[in-house]
Amino acid sequence: MKLLLADHNRDMLLMYQLLFSGRGDEVVSVFDGAQAAEFLKDGDFDLMIVNRDLPRVRAAQLVRMANEKRIPAVTLVNTTEYEGVETEDLFSAFMLFPFFPEELFAKIEEIGVGRTDDKQIGGETDA
């Protein structure tokens, strides 16, 4: 699976990179919305995980771009942010923070973006 990760929090980017690259996924990570927009224009991604508060280009604009290319978009929000989300119909899914990795992987599979091989979480193979 090829993912575009867009978050202004470098710790979150590192966490995503470790989670997904550890499963063998191809990961492109960016720190702001303008970088994400450039990758969206030229790249072919299976999924975008985006922070709602990116600098330079708003997440809603990025998600519209992703939707045009039929790329699902997931965003992480805390409970108070979620209550006021006005663009929730743009996103394929929301994850409430904090979360466990298994919950994120399950949410991704729930929206129809699954593994392209037989690896499970942690790199084990199906029996």
- Does the residue 124 lie in any domain? no
Predicted confidence band of residue 24 (pLDDT cuts 50, 70, 90): very high
Band (83; pLDDT cuts 50, 70, 90): low
Q: Specify if 80 maps to a domain.
A: yes
Q: What is the pLDDT of residues 36-79, one digit of tens each?
A: 999 999 889 999 998 877 888 888 889 889 989 999 998 877 65
16 within domain boundaries: yes
What's the predicted TM-score (pTM) here?
0.77
Residue 97's CATH number: 3.40.50.2300
CB atoms within 10 A of CB 39: 17
Domain containing 22 equals: 2-116
Cβ atoms < 10 Å from Cβ of 64: 13
Residue 88 lies in a domain: yes
Q: How many separate domains does the chain show?
A: 1
Q: Does residue 38 sit within a domain?
A: yes
- DSSP string for 2-40: EEEEE-S-HHHHHHHHHHHHTTT-EEEEESSHHHHHHHH
37 domain-assigned: yes
How far apart CA 45 and CA 53 sit, in angstroms, is: 21
Higher-confidence position of 118 and 51: 51
In a domain, residue 123? The reply is: no
Is residue 60 within 8 Å of residue 87, measured between CB atoms?
A: yes
